[in-house]
Amino acid sequence: MSLHGQYDPDNIFAKILRGEIPCVKVYEDEHVLSFMDIYPQAPGHTLVVPREPVRNALEMTDGALQAAIVRVKRIAKAVNTALKPDGIVITQFNGAPAGQTIFHVHFHIIPRMDGEALGRHGGGEADMDVLKEQAARIAAAIENP
Ligand code: 5GP
């Protein structure tokens, strides 16, 4: 799907936001839901999904985007504290040609280690017990604003 089109309220992240599909939750409040990516590109790959029902960042209201990016930073700091990576990639894709596969706006927080190549986008499915353990450690490291 290019940048032009309609928001589909039955996309996977909309279903996760409504609680119709489970997720391994890291954090939630009135603005965002954060959970582990089940096809991680690196251990600790975390998603931050704004609740605003739009396809991409260009469609977000300024207020929702501001609230979301502050939470992305807070959760990225928690990933840093919990997992101690050598680096952290924060990405956000707009439209299929840009790499977007789920058309509800979201941010990726991907820990990177020296000398370890980034895994394939949407590669193998993670072990749920590992994801739960990572999510608990990240959640415990989130600081209050
Ligand atoms: P995008 O390519 O749209 O930026 O990212 C979508 C991300 O969602 C991908 O990294 C993919 O691994 C992840 N993903 C796809 N389906 C599911 C799912 O059902 N649950 C979770 N937690 N992540 C998913």
What is the three-class DSSP state of 107? strand
Tell me how crowded residue 20 is: count the other CB atoms within 10 A of its CB: 10
User: Ligand 1 pocket test: which of 28, 37, 104, 127 has the largest number of ligand atoms within 8 Å of its C-beta?
Assistant: 37
DSSP 8-class letter at 11: S
77 touches 145 (CB < 8 A): no
Q: Range with the lowest mean pLDDT among 31-40, 83-92, 114-123? A: 114-123
Ligand 1 near 103 CB (within 6 A): no
Kindly give the pairing relationship between strand 87-91 and strand 25-28: unpaired
Q: What's the pLDDT at 1? A: 66
How far, in Å, from the CA of 46 to the mean position of ligand 1?
10
In this structure, what token pair is assigned to residue 129? 């017990």
Q: What is the pTM of this model?
A: 0.97
> What domains sit in the chain, N to C, each tagged with a CATH number?
12-141 (3.30.428.10)
Going by pLDDT thresholds of 50, 70 and 90, the confidence category of residue 142 is: very high
Q: What's the pLDDT at 36? A: 98
